[in-house]
Amino acid sequence: MSVIDRVKSHFESIENIVIEVEQWKDENGNPSVFYCEPITLEERNKLQLKSSGANDSSILADLLVMKLLVKNEKGDLVKAFQPEDKFALKKKADVQIIGTIANKILEGTFYEDAEKK
């Protein structure tokens, strides 16, 4: 197996990050549960290109829209947020929670909290 094949094989084996947000309870009082595949260099580059500078925190909303998934009624993973949700994430959401979620996405996979792809 070539080195690049080992690199790709490793990436494919990385588990989804599972992020529970206690503060965002559903109609039954359960925390929101999000899933996130590992971020790629290409996705990081897209975020950096969208950023107008080092202090542009609006890219955190872009990151959540880009990466967060939820399970639908069939159990399939689907996008948690649509592009039009970015405005609400920027203007109507707790910045500390947004930051915490973004950090978990950027930190990578924690195997004890992860679920297989």
Please give the backbone phi and psi of residue 78, each rounded to the nearest 5 degrees, phi first. -135, 160
pLDDT for 55: 61
Chain centre to alpha carbon of residue 101: 7
pLDDT for 113: 39
CATH number of 3-115: 3.30.2220
pLDDT for 50: 80
User: From first to last of its 117 residues, what are the pLDDT tens digits of the chain?
Assistant: 999 999 999 999 998 999 999 999 999 999 999 999 999 999 988 888 887 765 667 899 999 999 999 999 999 999 999 999 999 999 999 999 999 999 999 886 443 334 444
User: Which residue, 37, 24, 20, 23, is CA-closest to 79?
Assistant: 37
pLDDT for 107: 85
Burial 14-24 (b: 16+ CB within 10 A, else e): ebbbbbebeee
DSSP track, 24-87: EE-TTSPEEEEEEPPPPHHHHHHHHHH-SSTT-THHHHHHHHHH-EEE-TTS-EEES--GGGHH
